[in-house]
Amino acid sequence: MIPATIVFIYLAIVLYIGIFAFRRGSKTGEDFFLASRSLGPAVFLLSLFGTNMTAVAILGSSGFAYQRGIGVYGLMASSSGVIIPLTLFFIGTRLWALGKKHGHITQVQYLRDRWEMQGIGTFIFALTAVMLIPYIIIGVMGGGTTLETISGGQVPYAVGGGIVAVVVASYVFFGGMRGTAWVNAFQTILFLCFGAIAFTLIARSLGGLDVTMQQLASSPKTAPLLSRERIPTPEFFSYMFIPLSSIMFPHIAIMCLTAEKIGHFKKTIIFYPICIMLIWLPSVYLGVVAASQYPNLTPGQANDVIIRLLTDKTSVVVAGILGAGIMACVMASDSQILALSTMFTEDLFAYYGGRKKFGPGAEVWAGRAFIVLIGVVSYLIALELKDKANIFDLAVRFAFSGFAALSPIMLAALFWKRSTKWGALAAAGWVLFSVLGNWYLTAISDSIAPKPPAAAKPAVVGEPANPAAPPAVGRPPKPAPPVQIYPALGNMFLRGPTNVTVYGFLPVMPMVLISGLLMWLVSLATPPPSQATIDKYFPPRNKR
């Protein structure tokens, strides 16, 4: 319980930070939800990056690398290091300027005013809220997995996930955006240090980086993990669309509105790629190393391979400290919870008369009540998904893909004055249809999905690899090819071991392209907003 005790101390620290922020804040809605738009450059950079680095970044990336190899770094980290800073530069800065000028707190507030829409804005709110919940669930799953594994099973998954859910909900409940930003800044520093330390200590315990890589390359079972052999080219290309989701995530868009000055974006754009490398590079490497230490884990078990390595290859105290670093990344779901609360309060409660009826002070309490509700719901769902879902696959299928497909809506609103609310409705309707379609196709094809080779013996938490075991002979069998879901449609819908593809491409690619096409065509076929609204958001040059 020593590593788990260290993690508990860390949880107490972040809870105190949130409560301290509560004492520094005011009782206004803008202060609770946006920290009065006053975050300085350092806190803004660290909190914005930390907000986007959840359990997917450490647990998800290492678990996926365990299955697919080092190519996982190219899937997400390389493209994210370029695309996310560009979206912050072109979209985040403009969203910040318009939000500060017109008093917007959420994306939906901006879209409602920009396109003069009411019910359509509520539909977009509901859609984004539903797609954000899986991201919050991932945080609870990561917390439960971390505490269960690092304690050797003495803290059950259900208890660990519940503790994390209560701690996160508590400091978000009290501290609002200021507490969340301060905690994220603290946590970001912690998990940025985690990567380098864990990488160094585990590599040293295995004989050094050179020795470890030679062993991986010489084993027929792990050699494919050092190439892109297990990642088909269409799937690899598809992942370039995933980073478009970042600016459409409500927690990222809302975080962009908290900057004190637009100049704070400059350092963020410069340092963001470096921060991504510091997190993803060691996580992917350790995931590949874990494949040689713990063979034949299931996708659900692969979520905790880094924690297994820490438990087996470092001292208990070091494992606890580094476990706190993992928990710091896992608990970044606090921003998603606050974003959902902000959207509920501003886009539903206040918009439909709650502010007028109950007064401005009721906004904060409505948001806090929603925080508790989301915490309970996400915890209950996380209990059902234990050992049933890989964190990375869950994020890509239901969160990243959907929000990436919504990006044409934000691009059109910010940069195309001829765009209309009907184009936004068509694009959002397509996103809902495609996300549900992806879920349906995945569900009905589970029985025919290619299965990995059967495990000879399940891995046990804390049980190191047997060095006396005979080496594998020959190359392992190649993964089974994907299966046609509807043979009459040929290769249109294929089912792989974990997901559905469209002619070999991940669904995110056609989702984004068709969303953009619908936004363009329907906008051209429908009347534009009033000239007054267009002039408000695209003022003539002589009036600027």
Residue 333 has pLDDT above 80, yes or no: no
Of 534 and 375, the structure prediction assigns the larger pLDDT to 534
pLDDT for residue 462:
46
Domains of the chain: 2-386 (1.20.1730.10)
The runs of H, that is alpha helices, within 463-543 are: 508-525, 531-537
Q: Spell out the SS3 assignment of 394-457.
A: HHHHHHHHHHHHHHHHHHHHHHCCCCCHHHHHHHHHHHHHHHHHHHHHHHHCHHHCCCCCCCCC
CB atoms within 10 A of CB 260: 15
pLDDT for residue 415:
93
pTM: 0.80
Q: What is the pLDDT of residues 283-292, one digit of tens each?
A: 888 888 888 8
pLDDT for residue 523:
96
Residue 253 has pLDDT above 50, yes or no: yes
Listed residue (410, 411, 520, 526) closest to 124, CA to CA: 410
Listed residue (32, 6, 125, 102) closest to 338, CA to CA: 32
pLDDT for residue 24:
63
Residue 318 has pLDDT above 80, yes or no: no
By percentage, how much of the chain surpasses pLDDT 70?
86
Contact 55, 330 (CB under 8 A): yes
Span 504-529, average pLDDT: 94
pLDDT for residue 69:
86
Q: What is the pLDDT of residues 143-200, one digit of tens each?
A: 787 778 777 778 888 888 888 788 877 877 777 777 777 877 887 787 777 767 777 8
pLDDT for residue 464:
47
Contact 161, 152 (CB under 8 A): no
Residue 252 has pLDDT above 50, yes or no: yes
Q: Which of 21-30, 382-391, 429-438 has the highest mean pLDDT?
A: 429-438
Mean pLDDT, the chain, whole residue set? 80
pLDDT for residue 526:
95
Helix or strand or coil: residue 31?
helix
pLDDT for residue 332:
65
Residue 349 has pLDDT above 80, yes or no: yes
Of 115 and 46, the structure prediction assigns the larger pLDDT to 115
Span 340-369, average pLDDT: 80
Read off the pLDDT band of 302 (50, 70, 90): confident
Q: What is the pLDDT of residues 62-103, one digit of tens each?
A: 888 888 888 888 877 888 888 888 888 888 899 989 988 888
Residue 376 has pLDDT above 90, yes or no: no
Helix or strand or coil: residue 234?
helix
Helix or strand or coil: residue 259?
strand
pLDDT for residue 456:
41
Read off the pLDDT band of 531 (50, 70, 90): very high
pLDDT for residue 474:
43
pLDDT for residue 170:
80
Residue 387 has pLDDT above 70, yes or no: no
pLDDT for residue 412:
94
pLDDT for residue 513:
95
pLDDT for residue 306:
79
